[in-house]
Amino acid sequence: MKDNLISIKSVTKSFTKGKTTITPLENLSLDVPRGEFLSLMGPSGSGKTTLLNLIAGIDTPTSGEILINGEDISQLSRAQLTKWRAVHVGYIFQLYHLVPILSAYENVELPLLLGKYSKAERKKKINAALELVGLSDRADHRPSELSGGQEQRVAIARAIVHDPDLLVADEPTGDLDRESADSILNLLNSLAKDHGKTVVMVTHDPKASAAAHRALQLEKGQFSSEGHLLNTSTQ
């Protein structure tokens, strides 16, 4: 039996606004083994972000179970989810979402301020994270002084600094040139392969998807096809 970090069981998510109800995800199930780098593709509006938000505890499903590390997070309250995210998830956004008034170092520090770390412990973790993303020399820079690729690296450092099991990324390379995109993808790949993180990435880019271990195609709230199970090594 595989060790699944994520186990989604018949999840349905619908939004109701006035008299119309949209159901972007219907009766969806998915298992993601620990340490897998999974890519989700699909047309716009197919529910990719919605699914990612459910996995990351940003949103709750209308019905169904979402087991992360054996814990059913679909039952948690908003406040409980907030606490849960602080420990278990790192979220990487398409547009980085760094806090503009804080330096790279301080941005990466944000998740640690929620835990019980001493200043020295924080420093060690932040420097390690910045080093992992190759930005040790940019610690004091503000986001406005960094390139897009560098900003995304800081965002990744921020997502991993508190050592969560799960990383979710919503089109992390969507706003980057090919070269920067490739290095971000290598980084995500290595986080899964070498550091045991489970990575779920949404992307529109087939090349990005090819960097993942497995690719799933989402269409009208259902998985239409399962892609390759390759690429466990980086080029």
Partner 1 sequence: MLPFTYALRNLFRDPARLLQTVGGSAVVVLLLIAAVAMNQGMDSVLSSSGSPRNVILMGKGSEESLERSEVSIDAESAAATSISGIETKLGVAAISGEITYQAPIRTSSGKEEPALLRGVLEKALLVHTSVRLLEGTFPGPGEVMVGDLTHRKLGVEKEELAVGQQLYFGDSAMRISGRFTAPGTVLESEIWFDRNDLSSLTQRDSLSSIILRLENTNADDVELFTFQRNDLELAAIREDKYYEKLSIFYQPIQIMTWVTAALVGAGAVFGGLNTLYAAFASRIKEMATLQSIGYTRTALFVSLIQESVLATLSGTLLAFVIAYFLLDGRTVPFSIGTFTLTMTPSVIFTGLIAGILLGTIGTLPPAIRCLLPSLPKALRSN
How many chain residues touch Mg ion (CB under 5 A)? 1
Out of 22, 101, 113, 230, name the contact with ligand ATP by CB under 6 A: 22
Out of 10, 27, 29, 45, name the contact with ligand ATP by CB under 6 A: 45
CB 173 within 8 A of CB 203: yes
For 120, the enclosing helix (H) or strand (E) is helix 119-132
Q: Least distance in Å: CB of 47 to Mg ion?
A: 9
Q: Least distance in Å: CB of 17 to ligand ATP?
A: 6
Q: Least distance in Å: CB of 13 to ligand ATP?
A: 8
Query: For the chain, first and last CA: distance in Å?
Result: 30
Q: Does 44 bind ligand ATP (CB under 6 A)?
A: yes
Site for ligand ATP in 47-66 (CB under 6 A): 47-50
Out of 9, 33, 69, 102, name the contact with partner 1 by CB under 8 A: 102
Q: What are phi and psi of 58, to 5 degrees?
A: -85, -30
Tell which residue, 121, 186, 122, has the closest CA to residue 152. Answer: 186
Q: Does 180 bind Mg ion (CB under 5 A)?
A: no
- Nearest residue (CB) to partner 1, 70 versus 100: 100
Q: Does 203 bind ligand ATP (CB under 6 A)?
A: no
Q: Does 206 bind ligand ATP (CB under 6 A)?
A: no
Distance of CA 116 to the CA centre of its chain: 23
For 181, the enclosing helix (H) or strand (E) is helix 178-193
Q: Least distance in Å: CB of 136 to ligand ATP?
A: 33
Q: Is the torsion defined by CA of 150, 126, 164, 86 positive or negative?
A: negative
- Nearest residue (CB) to ligand ATP, 48 versus 158: 48
Q: How far apart are CA 91 and CA 74, in angstroms?
A: 18
Q: Does 49 bind Mg ion (CB under 5 A)?
A: yes
Q: Does 56 bind partner 1 (CB under 8 A)?
A: yes
Out of 7, 39, 46, 50, name the contact with partner 1 by CB under 8 A: 50
Structure token pair of residue 39: 């890519």
Helix %, strand %, coil % for the chain, to 5? Answer: 35, 30, 35
**196 exposed, middle or buried (CB, 10 Å; 0-12, 13-18, 19+)?**
exposed
Q: Least distance in Å: CB of 73 to partner 1?
A: 14
